[in-house]
C-alpha cells in the first residue's frame, strides 16, 4: 500500500516497529502534520482516517510511543517509526496489533544496555550497581572492564587446555559467564558516554564497506 489521497490530504502508510525487540507493533497513516509533530516532539503522531483528525499515540491511554528514528522506503512513500515503548501498542492491550507473536530476541549488548537504562530510571543511585558503574568514578568502571577482559582471557585459555576429564560444556559455560560480565561493563561504559549502538554499527559498516579493489 502506497500513498493515498483523500479529503484534500496526502496520507502515508506508517509501520511501527520496536527498536530493540524488532517486533512489528502496528500500522497507521500519517499526514504531513503528523510527520512534522513526530519529528518535533519525539512521540508518534498519526492521522485517523475514520475521525479525519490528527492524533498522538497514547493521548488517552497514556501508552505513548517515543520515536527513536524515522525511516522511509526506497520509493519515499511509506514510513517506518522505530519506537522504544514499554506499553502495549494495541487497543486490546496486546504488545502488537498483529497478535502476541514471539518477540525477536534482542542481541546481548542491546539487552544489557536496556537493563542498565531501567536501573538508572529507577533512581536508586545509592544501591544500584549499574548506577554506580555509570555515574560513579570512571576509574572504577575502567578497572572493572580490565578485570573482566582478563577473566575472559583466562576462561578461554582454560577452555583450550582443559583435560579430557573436564566436560567441554563446563569450560564453555565459564567462558560464556565471563564474556557476559565483560559485555555488561562495556554496556555501562557506552551508557555513561551516551554512545548508542547505532554509532558502533555505523563504524563497522564504514570499516567494511566495499572498495574498488573488491570489485
Q: 121 and 194: one domain?
A: yes
Q: Render pLDDT for 145-188 as a digit per residue (tens, 0 to 9).
A: 999 999 999 999 988 776 665 555 666 889 999 999 999 999 99
Q: Render pLDDT for 90-136 as a digit per residue (tens, 0 to 9).
A: 988 888 998 865 555 668 898 899 889 888 888 777 889 999 999 99
Q: Which residues pair with 10 in a beta bridge?
A: 5
Q: 123 and 203: one domain?
A: yes
Q: 115 and 59: one domain?
A: no
Q: 128 and 197: one domain?
A: yes
Q: 71 and 119: one domain?
A: no
Sign of the dihedral through C-alpha 185, 191, 195, 198: positive
The CATH number of residue 22's host domain is 3.10.20.810
Domain that holds residue 33: 4-83
Q: 199, 197, 151: which is closest to 175 by C-alpha? A: 151
Q: 77 and 169: one domain?
A: no
Q: 177, 22, 210: which is closest to 98 by C-alpha? A: 22
Question: Regarding beta strands 24-30 and 79-83, do their DSSP bridges make them parallel or antiparallel, or are they unpaired?
Answer: unpaired
Q: 112 and 79: one domain?
A: no
Domain count, the chain: 2
More confident residue, 120 or 141: 141
The residues, any chain, with a CB within 8 Å of residue 150's CB and separated by 6 or more, are: none
The CATH number of residue 133's host domain is 1.10.287.1080
Residue in this structure with the C-alpha cell 519506537, named with its chain if needed: 83
Q: 47 and 127: one domain?
A: no
Amino acid at each position: 500500500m502506497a500513498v493515498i489521497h483523500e479529503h484534500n490530504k496526502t496520507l502515508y502508510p506508517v509501520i511501527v516497529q520496536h527498536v530493540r525487540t524488532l517486533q512489528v507493533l502496528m500500522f497507521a497513516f500519517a499526514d504531513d502534520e503528523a510527520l512534522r509533530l513526530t519529528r518535533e516532539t519525539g512521540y508518534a503522531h498519526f492521522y485517523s482516517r475514520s475521525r479525519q483528525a490528527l492524533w498522538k499515540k497514547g493521548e488517552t491511554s497514556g501508552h505513548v510511543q517515543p520515536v527513536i528514528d524515522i525511516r522511509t522506503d526506497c520509493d519515499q512513500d511509506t514510513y517506518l517509526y522505530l519506537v522504544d515503548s514499554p506499553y502495549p501498542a494495541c487497543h486490546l492491550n496486546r504488545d502488537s496489533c498483529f497478535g502476541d507473536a514471539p518477540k525477536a530476541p534482542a542481541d546481548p549488548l542491546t539487552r544489557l544496555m536496556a537493563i542498565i537504562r531501567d536501573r538508572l530510571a529507577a533512581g536508586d543511585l545509592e544501591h544500584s550497581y549499574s548506577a554506580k558503574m555509570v555515574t560513579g568514578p570512571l576509574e572504577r568502571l575502567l578497572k572493572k572492564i580490565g578485570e573482566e577482559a582478563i577473566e575472559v582471557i583466562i576462561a578461554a585459555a582454560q577452555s583450550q587446555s582443559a583435560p579430557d576429564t573436564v566436560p567441554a560444556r563446563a569450560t564453555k559455560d565459564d567462558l560464556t559467564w565471563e564474556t557476559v560480565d565483560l559485555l555488561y561493563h562495556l554496556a555501562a561504559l557506552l551508557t555513561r558516554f551516551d554512545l548508542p549502538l547505532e554509532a558502533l554499527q555505523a563504524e563497522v559498516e564504514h570499516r567494511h564497506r566495499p572498495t574498488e579493489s573488491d570489485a
